[in-house]
Amino acid sequence: MSNVLKTALALALIAPAAAAQELESAVVKLHTTRRNPDFLQPWTKRAPEELSGSGVLLSDGRILTNAHVVMYARQVYVQPYQSSDKFSAEVEVLAPGIDLAVLTLDDPSAFAGVQAPEIEAALPRAQDPVSVYGYPMGGSELSITEGIVSRIEYDDYYFETAAARIQVDAALNPGNSGGPVFSDGRVIGLVFSGIREADNIGYIIPSEEVLRFLDDAADGTYDGIPRVTGEFVTLENDALRARLGAGDDVTGLVVRRAGAGSPLEEWDVVMRVGDHDISNDGKVQVSAGLRMNFRYMVPQLAVGGSVPVTVFRGGESVEVSLPTPNRPDLVAPSLAGDYPRYFIYGPLVFTAATQEFIGGTFNAFGPGMALKQSPMLGRWRDAPQFEGEELVVVTSRMFSHKITKGYDDAIFATVADVDGIAVRNLAHLVEILRDGTSRFVEFRFHDNAQETLVFERDAIEDATEDILSDNGIRHECSEDLRELWRGGE
């Protein structure tokens, strides 16, 4: 073999190895110390727990990972590939709904000289080969598993968020979360979920969702994914089509309930979003061989807070603009990484219901809540009925004190009124109790069979000080309510 051929062969072998080394160097291991909220004792936090996950270097030196890897983290350390060093980092932007987060390193030079991988803007195709990089449990070194793209679909993520997602058959395990998925040397997505009951089935967040998140969060604040609200049903039933006068040329979704502020009406048929026809099962053709729910097109077509749609109404086609809010407007919103608000008054602890609170309490106490006909179960996905509405809930068992004599516990009961004044939200509850002057304080609840609680005002306010002292609680309310309780607005 000539020297020229030997050199060419050596270079051919070295180039892929160098490229692989470059990808590996951009994948990091994350070590976090997390303190989750304690919903039953919102004045404190749960005990610290140590977790690990994965992440990938961005071109600006920051680290991209999953939100659930760093949510409620008190400490975050980034460990480079094949290194014992751990660099401190802070969570810069957190988006729990789409499960993405960006970290900023305290030492910007920590990854000097490391090349960040390219992020592919387009969706992959089914059967494309993929390589999953990360640091799953069971070892300390970088793990690489291989597979293919099994399916691409539009589906739910977390906290009323929906977006495109990719199913892969590569093995995913705890610790892989936040790690990049490569195809042809480019990032096509980020690991975020696996199915425990199934072998080799996992989901990744497509790179187009990652890029949209990074673009949104460029100013340091994440606004969310534009969406359309309301409820729709398919236009597949022959009787329904006849009832609406829909000929063969009419396809789309029937409006069952219009969202707040929407120009849609009941029985409208939404036929097109932008220039994309909607099928009778609610899908649009995204590309050759790929159909997805019409909502997939909304973030791509929305401009200035609205998206154009074509509606079949009363036998005619009508062009309307649908509002596209970035976040769901819920009477029980998500905490989005914050800790719960609370207010302690005598033996009672109040909070505002959130998606996390309702989900956690339902898993443990669902039958009891259903028996009491708790509004939380019926309204947890509802929009507020008026501006500022919250469901104010007793979050803990009553503290032990003589003024509770003869009363049943009111845990998870939803407050209807205090002293005959309907409670609008947690801050309003604080105002009512702060400004009350009558001898007695009366709490009434929405929940079936929950008795009205009556206390002498002077006695319950004196009890508050005793209870805080006896239980080592520093403040009677969360920081956002302290000025209000002390006389502010």
CA angle 400/401/407 to nearest 5° reads 80
Max CA distance (Å), the chain: 103
CA 294 from chain centre, in angstroms, equals: 21
CA 449 from chain centre, in angstroms, equals: 34
According to DSSP H, which parts of 96-147 are helical? Answer: none
- Whole-angstrom distance, CA of residue 237 vs CA of residue 250: 13
Angstrom distances, CA of residue 391 to CA of 132, 212, 262, 353, 454: 43, 33, 25, 5, 21
Pick the closest to residue 62 from 184, 210, 195, 229 (CA basis). Answer: 210
Instruction: Yes or no: say if 301 and 307 are a contact pair by the CB < 8 Å rule.
Output: yes
Pick the closest to residue 165 from 157, 173, 174, 176 (CA basis). Answer: 157
DSSP of 291-308: EEEGGGGHHHH-BTTEEE
CA 369 from chain centre, in angstroms, equals: 24
- Cite the active site residues: 68, 99, 177
Angstrom distances, CA of residue 196 to CA of 143, 179, 211, 360: 19, 18, 28, 20
According to DSSP H, which parts of 303-374 are helical? Answer: 355-371
- Whole-angstrom distance, CA of residue 343 vs CA of residue 245: 56
Helix (H, G, I), strand (E, B) or coil at 90: strand
